[in-house]
Amino acid sequence: MTPEATDAPHALEVFKEAMASLASGVAVVTGVDPDSGPCGMTVTSIASYSAKPPSVIVCVDESTRSYRGMTEGEYFAVHLLSEDQPDVARLFASKVDDKFEQCESVAGPHGLQLIADSLATLICRKSFVAKHGDHAIVIGTVVDGSVEDRQPLVYWRREFSGRR
Ligand SMILES: Cc1cc2nc3c(=O)[nH]c(=O)nc-3n(C[C@H](O)[C@H](O)[C@H](O)COP(=O)(O)O)c2cc1C
């Protein structure tokens, strides 16, 4: 493969198919938009970044309504979804206006809305934002959280592997 191959017309399709073949855990990130308040979206681009300090990385599309909350808010929450939460993943991947009323959620710290029954919840203080292309990389330092004894929701080849 030559460097020019990245400019080939099929590169986008190859990229999409390859990424669809990567099995991913599924998370909902929630933040606070400076104007409209609590926001949230489904993501698979979530990963551990470092242990010192304990940090996570998430990639956010600038076209999402949660973009400002995730890039301008001081805190965000990460909910790693459990196998019985594919409906929550679909809800937060949608554009409905009342996402938090259509699932079980509670008011958390820093104005964040927290999703109930997740596999793990991490409260993060935003520490770094890098914009590249049409996405931003957001790094957050974990300041609090909890982990439950549940199985994960997995996304692979455009399907959730959950139980519902
Ligand atoms: C399985 C799955 C994974 C997704 N991962 C991401 C992601 O990592 N980053 C992103 O910006 N959007 C991702 N999306 C798309 C957003 O969830 C979607 O655009 C959502 O409607 C955004 O909500 P909002 O506009 O209310 O913020 C994903 C969608 C699905 C179904």
Q: What is the pLDDT of residues 65-87, one digit of tens each?
A: 999 999 999 999 999 999 999 99
Please indicate, yes or no, whether the overall pTM of this predicted structure exceeds 0.85: yes
Q: How far is CA 113 from the centre of its chain?
A: 14
- Find out whether the beta carbon of 71 lies less than 6 Å from any atom of ligand 1: no
Q: How far is CA 43 from the centre of its chain?
A: 3
Range 28-52 average pLDDT: 97
Rg of the chain taking only CA atoms, in angstroms: 16
Which of 26, 46, 61 should be mutated for ligand 1, with most atoms under 8 A from CB?
A: 61
- Find out whether the beta carbon of 59 lies less than 6 Å from any atom of ligand 1: yes
Q: Write the pLDDT tens digit of every residue in 124-152.
A: 999 999 999 999 999 999 999 999 999 99
For the chain, domains (ranges, CATH) are 25-145 (2.30.110.10)
Query: Whole-angstrom Cα distance, residue 143 to residue 136?
Result: 21
